[in-house]
Amino acid sequence: MSEFLSTATLPDHYQQLAKTVRDFARSVVAPVSATHDREHSFPYEVVAGMADMGLFGLPFPEEYGGMGGDYFALCLALEELGKVDQSVAITLEAGVSLGAMPVYRFGNDAQKQEWLPLLSSGEALGAFGLTEAGGGTDAGATKTTAKLDDGHWIINGSKQFITNSGTDITKLVTVTAVTGEVDGAGGQERSDTGGGTRKQISSILVPVPTAGFTAEPAYDKVGWNASDTHPLSFDDVRVPQENLLGEQGRGYANFLRILDEGRIAIAALSVGVAQGCVDECVKYAKEREAFGAAIGTNQAIAFKIARMETRAHVARATYYDAAALMLSGKPFKKAAAVAKLVASEAAMDNARDATQVFGGYGFMNEYPVARHYRDSKILEIGEGTTEVQLMLIAREAGL
């Protein structure tokens, strides 16, 4: 167990970070959340505020322009932002965990020196191009290709559901692409191409803008309306051979590591949602009167909120545990899957119950619980569906 497994034993610097982000979420994020959600507008002014606070550089070393913190610090920030606005929280999560972290984990020194200071500053966003139309959970079924030609990669294909990929400050998209084939025995990837071979999948850095790269029109989503999400197309996109990120043929395996880490971050965001719903319900249940008394005096309401609080508490413990294992260098794949499963379901369940507590008002978009109700479903899908988490947990248990 870690010294920070409980909120009661968090070291002072973690507590101060959480308080700082909590104050920012309440004073800066919350007042504009409904407007950005309604207008489907990207919150550039909020992102600039997070950049000024150094949130995009939290887990990166100071030598690369970061804050010298760790992944748990990022998770604490995501939890606080998730309490009030999931779109803002996922913008930070994707920008750090998916946009910059692959460069930090697998980039060479030149790539780190070029990209990490820019991404850590928050002045630019990076995106993570993995998912394709025919392969969501089956990410190894990549069809996007990259072929070498006179010292350059020529990339053709498309990606789907890519966060932070079409903003005015998007400067980098890391994409997985098929760069060849390997024999069945030696391949790292699992998607067969026939003839006893497997796809060799690599990851490549694509600066934005680059000729042939297009962020297609944004999706019309159920939730996360202030988050930037686009399909991407690559039409003979030409980038230097040295833009290969990590070893050739290790792109799929490396991205799986990124997803393992990202599940802890999504769990933290989900805990924020679950706790945010509790906080809103407690406040409302004290103020709203029915039949001559505050509705919180009714056991039906009080017990519902008590169950919501329990879900948030348990979910928080799971992501604290997964983060502690990760930071200590111990295997954390199962713990990350458990955290993501428990926390995303807690967020969805609490959002549904909060809507019920608020009654008709809970169905009005002006209330945070209504936005959480629309936003939370994707938490059970993105960065590995609930079914994927169950598969991983069963596999790690020896089944």
C-alpha distances out from residue 109 to 40, 56, 113, 114, Å: 38, 20, 6, 9
d(CA 22, CA 8): 17
Bridge-based pairing of strands 170-183 and 192-194 is unpaired
Contact 21, 77 (CB under 8 A): yes
Report residue 200 as tokens.
């060799």
Query: ∠331-319-303 over CA atoms, to 5°?
Result: 145
- Based on DSSP, count helices (H) and strands (E) in the chain, helices before strands: 12, 11
Contact 173, 206 (CB under 8 A): yes
d(CA 69, CA 104): 14
DSSP 132: B
Candidate list 45, 383, 387, 396, residue with the active-site label:
383
User: What's the per-residue H, E or C state across 36-71?
Assistant: HHHHCCCCHHHHHHHHHHCHHHCCCCHHHCCCCCCH
Contact 199, 186 (CB under 8 A): no
Q: Which of 137, 132, 136 minimizes the C-alpha distance to 175?
A: 132
Coil, strand or helix: which one is 89? Answer: helix
Whether 132 is catalytic? no
Amino acid at 219: Y
Give catalytic residue positions: 383
